Amino acid sequence: MNTSFAGNWINKFLSNNKIILSVYIIASIVISIQLFSLGKKELLPNHAAYTQYNNYVIFKQSHVHLLQGKDIYKLYLDECWDYYKYSPAFSLLFGVFAYFSDAIGFTLWSLLNALLLFYAIKYLPHIDDKKKNAILLFSLFELVTSLQNAQSNGLMGGLLIFTFGFLESKKYWLATLCIVCSIFIKIFGGVAFILFIFYPEKWKLILYSIFWTLVFFFLPLLVVSQDQLHFLYERWWILLGLDHAASNGLSVMNWLYTWFHLNIQKNIILLVGMIILLLPLLRIKQYKNYLFHITMLASVLIWIVIFNHKAESPTFIIAFSGVAIWFFSTKRKSLDLILFMVAFVFTALSATDVFPATIRTHYFVPYIIKVVPCIVVWIKIMYELLIDDYTNYI
């Protein structure tokens, strides 16, 4: 009787879109208030103290510096900790938030990240609402981690998932807008271009992509000169190159080094990873199948994190949303359930207080536990994409 009651309650909860939406909105607002009220922290002597939402300040100040004609890729330690690493176009567009007070602007930024991801997942075709809500609920923990760091990863995940949704509905104008926008935030969004191969009228996809690329590329000319824009793109490219050499992050590269003491060149691992990612595209007969498409989307979402040398804990909202989309997109076997729950516990919950701080500090961090379940799930996904026959599915 109790089991039946619990099952009915869960079923009603997952069927209520308003409750799930409210959870996302409330989480965004509460996190914003929490970070804003915590005050500042000192990281360096003889420098200004930094806010708890430092990444937002970096984005905001990049807009200010852009308008002032400064080098937006210079380190401004008197204002914020760390470099600005996104495109000049993102810096310009961030003016939407920069002109508000931090309390309002940061809250709106958090809401954008949460709600774009929410509506992108809700837009996925051929998945019923209960499963979409389950994806949203299981992904919430990683989203909270991203929001607590004032990151753009919810926005990135939302743009990439929307790209897929718009491709499926043949809204190529919007699909290309989303993917190009993601690239001008973080370059790795371009990996999702491989999804274009499944859809007709590729000439439209190419032309629309070129159009949006030119729009975002030259958009900063509204406020800077041609020479300054050329200078900024040079500086951005140099910074990205230095960033590539700086660390291995929570990635396949670092996993191979930490667990197996394999110090393989990053570019070699990236090349091998890209070849494996592309192998399913040889199965041309599967191209017309939706489940093949969405499984490939899940693979891409995980790939761009686990093969990202700068991946950190807040980045994993992108990867885990891929894990959740893979799991809930069709009926799964017992092994899949085990893999999903392991990923939920040791990826989504690994950075939370569910685990004691000593375990996180002495085991999870040094052994980069967070990335391992995603690597295993990605391997399982690639096996499916290379072996399974999707012709029996919609």
Residue 1 has pLDDT above 60, yes or no: no
Q: Are 91 and 239 in contact (CB under 8 A)?
A: no
> Are 118 and 24 a contacting pair, CB within 8 Å?
yes
Separation between Cα atoms, residue 272 and residue 303, nearest integer Å: 12
Q: Do residues 108 and 97 touch, judged by C-beta distance below 8 A?
A: yes
Please give the pLDDT value at position 351.
85
pLDDT in tens, 133-163: 999 999 999 999 999 999 999 999 999 999 9
The percent of residues in the chain predicted with pLDDT above 70, rounded, is 95
Inform me whether the pLDDT recorded for 69 exceeds 80: yes
Instruction: Give tens-digit pLDDT for 208-233.
Output: 999 999 999 999 999 999 999 999 99
pLDDT digits (tens, 9 = 90+) for 91-138: 999 999 999 999 999 999 999 999 999 999 999 999 999 999 999 999
Question: b/e string for 147-165 if b means 16 or more Cβ within 10 A?
Answer: bbbbbbbbbbbbbbbbbbb
